[in-house]
């Protein structure tokens, strides 16, 4: 448990999966947390969840793309079959 954040209250999927990073942070009650704490919680959430394409795009657009790269690897043009 990093930074004393209790992830057990986030166990199981939310009623509807969030489609934006702001909605996800609201779901995780982290909207007012520091970016550092948000990254810790988002990293833990990504460990147990597969974000849909909208959420992946939102994470990248809001500066959290490295968390996706850490968890799922960086998709390159060659990896995507566009090389």
pLDDT tens-place string over residues 39-76? 999 999 999 999 999 999 999 999 999 999 999 998 76
Give the pLDDT confidence score for residue 1 in this predicted structure.
43
Helix (H, G, I), strand (E, B) or coil at 55: helix
Mean pLDDT of 4-22: 69
The CA distances from residue 19 to 36, 56, 59, 78, in Å, are 21, 8, 10, 27
């Amino acid at each position: 448990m990093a930074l004393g954040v209790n992830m057990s209250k986030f166990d199981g999927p939310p009623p509807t999966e969030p489609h934006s990073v702001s909605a996800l942070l609201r779901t995780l009650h982290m909207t007012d947390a520091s970016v550092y704490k948000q990254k810790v919680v988002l990293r833990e959430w990504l460990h147990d969840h597969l974000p849909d394409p909208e959420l992946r795009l939102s994470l990248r657009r809001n500066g959290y793309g490295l968390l996706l790269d850490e968890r799922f690897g960086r998709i390159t043009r060659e990896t995507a079959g566009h090389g």
